[in-house]
Homo-oligomer: A and B are copies of this chain.
Amino acid sequence: MSAVLRHILDARQFTRQWLDDVLFPATIELQQTPAAQFGQPLAGKRLFYLFYEPSTRTRVSFEMAATLLGAGVHGIDSQEDQVRAERLEDRIQVLNEYPFDFLLLRYHQEGGAARAAAVSRVPVINAGDGVGQHPTQALLDVYTLKRELGRLDGLRVALVGDLSYERTTNSLAYLLALFSGLTLYLVSPQLLRMRQEVRDYLERSGAQIKEVRDLRAIASELDVVYVTRAHTERLQHAQRFEGDRAGSYALDADLLAALPQHARVLHPLPRGPELPAELDADPRIACFRQAANGLYVRMALLSLLGDTRD
């Protein structure tokens, strides 16, 4: 991977060395800088967001990141009725003619970001492409783990919930696989198992994968519980289908009590009942610190994309 970051499309594009030597230090530096001292390194540059699906959180996070670095922000929202009525490539060819410097794309189908990058004049950032990936979420997740636990090697991580259609966990699994000694516990209904291609990738990378039904049975061994939305129709349907064999994909006080003191609970938000707000006072619940980290990771990514030295 060259020093120049061209696009952010797929968590598999990143190396461990780039995370350790480039992204994490750049993020830490930004996070330790008072807002007033960011300077305006991206002054005169412009981010365009093109959203075929709603995403208030990712949009606001990137909008703030760009603004704090001095860039302007423009965009098209999924709410604008006709957004899907036009070929993605056409939209991007028109945007190519305008003086934008970054394209933040959320697309409703897997592969959208790669299609965009193939025709875009400017760096494309994949802000989620259907059931594919959400690489910037995964980057902020691993940054959070590094910051909270001090290490990324030898982690025992449980990914919990719908692991089939949840792009966040796909991207996170790819990044975790860069580190040695990973044990990944996959806690999902049978119908929503992690996709075969992701599992194959993990195994080739040397990670240990264990599919478990009962999060409780392994709680005391975990460093990380990564909980995802469990109140989706898909997950509820899978649970009904599996009946008695169905596991639980939610955190509760008992489970939290069983976790080691050093462990951390992450959640990409928005959350539902799978992560009860009553537990928030426990310092192991890291989801809001995780969201806060997202701002700085995205600032670092924009800075790196905007650095066009070869």
A residues apposed to B, CB below 8 Å: 35-36, 44, 46, 54, 56-57, 60-61, 63-64, 67-68, 72, 74, 76-83, 85-87, 89-90, 93-94, 96-99, 269-271, 277, 288-289, 291-292, 295
Contacts and interface: CB of A to CB of B under 8 A. Distances in A.
Residue in A35, A93, A277 whose Cβ sees the most chain B Cβ within 10 Å:
A93
A291 B98 CA distance: 9
A266 to B, nearest CB: 14
A107 to B, nearest CB: 16
Contact of A67 (B72, B83, B93, B96): B72
B68 A99 contact: yes
A87 B277 contact: yes
A79 B80 contact: yes
B60 A90 contact: no
Contacts of A90: 269-271, 277
Contact of A80 (B56, B87, B270, B277): B56
Contact of A89 (B44, B93, B277): B277
A46 B288 CA distance: 21
B94 A57 contact: yes
Contacts of A93: 288
A149 B293 CA distance: 53
